[in-house]
Every structure is written in C-alpha cells, then in structure tokens.
Structure 1
Amino acid sequence: MDGFTKRTEEKREAILTAAKTLMQQKQSRFTINELARAASVSPVSIYNYFGSKEQVILLVLTRLTEREMDWIEHEIERDAPFDTLLLDILKRKIESAVLFDDAVLATVTSDPSWHELAARGYAAFRQLIEYGKMSGAIDSNISTDAYLRYVQLMQQAILSDPELSMTQMTETMHEYFHFFLHGILK
C-alpha cells in the first residue's frame, strides 16, 4: 500500500471511530464540523470519503452489525453455552441501542443495503434460536418465528418511545430482557 492510500485509509478509519464515539454520546445529533474535529480531519474529507453524515452513520452501523453477526456465528460454531451466549448478546444489544434515534432509524430503514444486512441478522438470530432449542436451553415447543417476533416487538416498543432518555432506554431494555429470559411470574 502506497503512502497516499495508507493515509486515506487512516483518515477514513479515524472518521468512523469518531462517528461511533459521537453516536454513543449524541446519536445523530452531531454536525459534520464536530465529526471533523473529533477525527482530526477537514469537513471536506468527510464529504470526499463518504458523501454525507448519513453515509458515515450507515457505515458505522453496518460494520458494527456485521461484527456482531460474525461473533454470534463464531460463538455458535465453538459450541458456547446458549445461556451465556444469549446474555452476552443481550448486553451487547443494550450497549448498541444508545446509537439509535429517530434520524438514525430513518437512515437505516431507507437504505436498500441495510435491508440485506437486516435479513442476514434475522437469519443469524434464527440460527441462535435453533441452537438454543437443539441444546435444550429453550422451549422447543415454541416456534422460532414466535421467539423472533417477540424480540422484534420488544425492540420496536423501546426504540419507538420518544419519551425515553438514553438512561431510561437502557433500564427499559434490561427489564424487557428480564421478561424475555424469566417471564413475568416470580
């Protein structure tokens, strides 16, 4: 790799890293200038490499999602205990939920490539449910589709509530996942 290509790649990575940090703090409520300062690049570099703030956000989320799916697939392949794996996934889900707000959701849901990625994510979660059934960790009498719809309903309920602050969202996700893992009975 020549020097120019290496510097370009370093700048792109700095922008993506800074964007993820800003999203953890502000979701989509940061400017190109703030992103440029955080990445130590010019705003023009961001437009040249990505075209828009939305494209930066989309790439951050795409990379994060791909890494998560790869991690899940790897953990299933190595026969990780289902209960440990599920708890780790839920913790990671809670951590990544802070990246989303209405603008981020609108960005990802309007992007055709995100739909392909979402389909892969859906397939990975389906594989996880089947893994849990085969290992005897979850009830095999409940359909995989019912498990998937239940998790989707929880996510939609949490993410669509405009009244939830980030702290409340994290607390609510913990409670919803408690329902998912333990039900509502004592």
Structure 2
Amino acid sequence: MDGYKKRTLQKMESIELSTTELLTLPLNDIKIADIAKLANVSQVSIYNYYGSKEALLKATIIRLMNQKYEEYQQVVSSDISFNEKIKELFIRKKQGLDIINLEMFTALMKKDPELQELVLDFTMNKSFKVLTSLIDEGRSLGLVRGEVQNQTLLIYIQVISQAFMNMDPTTSQYIQQKDVVDEIMNLFLYGLLKQDED
C-alpha cells in the first residue's frame, strides 16, 4: 500500500472514530462541522471521502458492527464459564446500544435499504453464528433447553431485529432506558436457559 493510500485510510478511520462519539445524538443534530473539528480534518475532506453525512454514518455503523463481531468472537472463544459468556455478550450488546441513538439509527435505516440489508446480514450470518456456537456449548453442558432448535432461535432473532429496524421514535426513546434493556435481556435469557425446578 502506497503512502497516500495509507494516509487516506488513517484519516477515514479518524473521521469514523470521531463520528462514533456523536452517535448518541438525533440524526439532525449530528453535524459534519462537529465531526470535522473532532477529527481535525476539513469538512471538504469528509465530503470528498464519503459524499454525504448519511454515507459517513453508514460507514461508521459498519465499522462498529465489525468491531462488535470481533469482540463477540473473543468472548465465545474465551475460557470463562458459559454463564459469564452470556453475561459478557449482553454487557457488550448494551454498550453498543449506549453509543447509538436508536431513533437516529432507525431513521437512517429507513432511508437506506442497503444498510438495512447489511444490518440484517450481520445479524443473521455473523451474530447468529457466534450465538449458535455459544448455544451449542450451553447444550453440551446441559444448561440450555434442548428442545429449542437453532432454526427457531434464528427466527426469533430475525423477528426482534425487524422490530428494532421498524421502531417508531417513541419506542426508540423508551428502549434506550437501562431498565428496559435489562428487561429485554432477562426475557431473552429466561426464555433460553433452563429454569430451576422446585
């Protein structure tokens, strides 16, 4: 890779990392001028690299998804217990939710069918494979209900993913609350793990 290309990729990485800091804001409150200031580049450079604010946000979200996928893989392949792996995955999922304004994310996806496809592909073909690997581990340890088939789990996750993509602004704001996220995670876990028998 030549020096110019390397510098370009470094600048784009800096721009996308700076954009990450603003993803908690509503879509209309994210300004190219603010991103340029954070990344220490000109607004012209940002438009030259990405063409629009929406394209930059899309690139930033894709970068975050890939980063999360690597984190999930590391957790699942680690030596910690099954229950700790589940807990750690949900903590990381919550951290992801904390840095993205769901209303902004939903609005962006409604404008961009390609982003919708990328998010769905990420959920089905990356996140699901990591989760399936973990579920299989839980089954082998006798901790996960054997009657829950992977295909059923896939449908369940797909339904949840579609719901997130089509949330109205009020629901998007509601789900940002920590207690609500905890409740969703608990619903997922208690539907998945064996219950103690009296």
Aligned alpha-carbon RMSD (Å): 2.9
Find out whether 1:182 has 2:190 as its counterpart.
yes
Question: How far apart are the structure 1 equivalents of 2:110 and 2:6?
Answer: 33
Percent same amino acid among aligned pairs?
26
Superposition deviation, residue 177 in structure 1: 0.8
In structure 1, the residue matched to 2:156 is 150
Find out whether 1:104 has 2:108 as its counterpart.
yes
SS in 1 for 2:142: coil
Superposition deviation, residue 114 in structure 1: 4.6
Find out whether 1:92 has 2:78 as its counterpart.
no
Superposition deviation, residue 108 in structure 1: 6.0
User: TM-score, normalization: structure 1?
Assistant: 0.78
Question: How far apart are the structure 2 equivalents of 1:163 and 1:177?
Answer: 20
Superposition deviation, residue 62 in structure 1: 1.7
Question: How far apart are the structure 2 equivalents of 1:44 and 1:72?
Answer: 36
Question: How far apart are the structure 1 equivalents of 2:26 and 2:86?
Answer: 26
Find out whether 1:47 has 2:51 as its counterpart.
no
| Uncovered stretches (5+) of structure 2, i.e. residues with no partner | none
Question: How far apart are the structure 1 equivalents of 2:55 and 2:157?
Answer: 27
Amino acid aligned to 1:31: K
Superposition deviation, residue 162 in structure 1: 2.2
How many aligned positions are there? 183
SS in 2 for 1:26: coil
In structure 1, the residue matched to 2:38 is 38
| Uncovered stretches (5+) of structure 1, i.e. residues with no partner | none
SS in 2 for 1:22: coil
In structure 1, the residue matched to 2:16 is 16
Q: Contact conserved, 1:19 with 1:60, CA < 8 A, in 2? A: yes
In structure 2, the residue matched to 1:56 is 56
Find out whether 1:132 has 2:138 as its counterpart.
yes
Find out whether 1:26 has 2:34 as its counterpart.
no
User: Bigger CA drift: 82-91 or 27-36?
Assistant: 27-36
| Matching residue within 154, 163, 166 for 2:170 | 163
Superposition deviation, residue 131 in structure 1: 2.5
- Seen in structure 2, the aligned counterparts of structure 1 residues 157 and 116 have a Cα distance that, compared at 3 Å, is closer
Question: How far apart are the structure 2 equivalents of 1:65 and 1:53?
Answer: 18
Question: How far apart are the structure 1 equivalents of 2:60 and 2:164?
Answer: 21
User: TM-score, normalization: structure 2?
Assistant: 0.74
Question: How far apart are the structure 1 equivalents of 2:132 and 2:114?
Answer: 24
| Matching residue within 176, 180, 183 for 1:172 | 180
In structure 2, the residue matched to 1:117 is 122
Superposition deviation, residue 44 in structure 1: 1.1
